[in-house]
Structure 1
Amino acid sequence: MITLPRIMLAALVIIGGYVFVVAPRVDAYVNPSAQWQEKLAEPRPSFTPAPSAPGRKAPTFPAAGTGFFGVFTDKGPGDLTDYNGFVQAAGKNPQVMMFASGWGAQPHFDRQPFDRIVNRGMLPMLGWEPWDYRAASKTDRDRGTQPKYQLARISGGDFDAYITEWAKGIKELGYPVAIRFAHEMNGYWYPWCESANGNQRGDYVAAYRHVHDLFKGLGATNVIWVWSPNVVYENATPLSRLYPGDDYVDWVGLSGYYGTAGMETYQTFEQIYRGTLAELKTLSKRPIVVTETAATDERGRKADWITDLLQTLPKHPEIIGFLWYESVKETDWRIAASPAASAAFAKGIAQPYFDAHWTPDSVPRRTLATAAATPAASGSRSN
Structure 2
Amino acid sequence: MTPPGGRRHARDAGRLSASRWIIIGLAGALVAAAGIYAFASGRQTTAGRAPVVPGATAPLSSCAPTAALVPPCGAWWGMHVPPNGDRRLVPDVVAMEQRIGRKLDITISYHDMSNSDAGRFFRDDEGDLGAERILFLGWESRIWDENIGIPWRDIAAGDYDQAIADQAARVKKYGRPVLVGFDGEKDRDESGQTPAEYIAAYKRIVDGFRRAGATNALWVWGVTGYYPFRDRWKAYYPGDAYVDWISYDPYNFAACRGAAWQDFAETVRPTYEWFQQNGFAGKPLILAEYGTESHRSDTAARADWYRDIPEAMKTMPNLKAIIQWNNTDADDCDFSLTGPGVLESFAEVGKNPYFRQPMARQATG
TM-score range, shorter chain: 0.7 to 0.9
Higher strand share: 2
State the alpha-carbon separation in 2 of the partners of residues 331 and 88 from structure 1. 26
* Deviation of 1:269 (Å): 2.5
> Which residue of the other structure, out of 59, 69, 72, is the alignment partner of 2:77?
69
> Which residue of the other structure, out of 323, 336, 348, is the alignment partner of 1:334?
336
> Which residue of the other structure, out of 260, 263, 273, is the alignment partner of 1:265?
260
* Deviation of 1:108 (Å): 3.8
Who is 1:150 aligned against?
151
Equivalent residue letter for 1:123: I
Who is 1:207 aligned against?
201
Who is 2:245 aligned against?
251
Across the aligned residues of Structure 1 and Structure 2, the Cα RMSD in angstroms comes to 3.3
Are 1:217 and 2:214 an aligned pair?
no
Compare 179-188 and 96-105 and name the one that shifted more: 96-105
Equivalent residue letter for 1:333: F
When residues 79 and 95 of structure 1 are mapped into structure 2, their CA distance, relative to the original with a 3 A threshold, is closer
State the alpha-carbon separation in 2 of the partners of residues 117 and 290 from structure 1. 20
Who is 2:111 aligned against?
101
Are 1:49 and 2:36 an aligned pair?
yes
Q: How does 1:271-290 map to 2 (within 5 A)?
A: 271-281=266-276, 282-284=278-280, 285-290=282-287
- Whether contact under 8 Å (2:138, 2:181) holds in the other structure is yes
* Deviation of 1:28 (Å): 5.5
| TM-score, length-scaled by structure 2 | 0.76
* Deviation of 1:273 (Å): 2.6
> Which residue of the other structure, out of 220, 225, 234, is the alignment partner of 1:231?
225
| Superimposed CA distance per residue, residues 231-257 of structure 1 (whole angstroms, 9 cap, x where no aligned partner) | 134356611101111111111111111
State the alpha-carbon separation in 2 of the partners of residues 348 and 70 from structure 1. 11
- Whether contact under 8 Å (2:70, 2:284) holds in the other structure is no
Who is 1:241 aligned against?
235
| Superimposed CA distance per residue, residues 53-87 of structure 1 (whole angstroms, 9 cap, x where no aligned partner) | xxx99853443212111222333972456534532
Percent identity reads 22
State the alpha-carbon separation in 1 of the partners of residues 73 and 294 from structure 2. 31
State the alpha-carbon separation in 2 of the partners of residues 187 and 259 from structure 1. 18
Compare 273-282 and 103-112 and name the one that shifted more: 103-112
Equivalent residue letter for 2:161: D
- Whether contact under 8 Å (2:284, 2:318) holds in the other structure is yes
Equivalent residue letter for 1:7: P
State the alpha-carbon separation in 2 of the partners of residues 92 and 358 from structure 1. 13
State the alpha-carbon separation in 2 of the partners of residues 62 and 234 from structure 1. 28
| TM-score, length-scaled by structure 1 | 0.72
When residues 107 and 93 of structure 1 are mapped into structure 2, their CA distance, relative to the original with a 3 A threshold, is closer
Consecutive unaligned residues of structure 1, counting only runs of 5 or more, are: 10-20, 36-46, 137-145, 189-195, 363-383
Consecutive unaligned residues of structure 2, counting only runs of 5 or more, are: 22-33, 38-46, 49-60
> Which residue of the other structure, out of 130, 138, 157, is the alignment partner of 2:141?
130
State the alpha-carbon separation in 2 of the partners of residues 85 and 304 from structure 1. 24
State the alpha-carbon separation in 1 of the partners of residues 134 and 16 from structure 2. 17
> Which residue of the other structure, out of 89, 108, 113, is the alignment partner of 2:99?
89
Who is 2:44 aligned against?
none
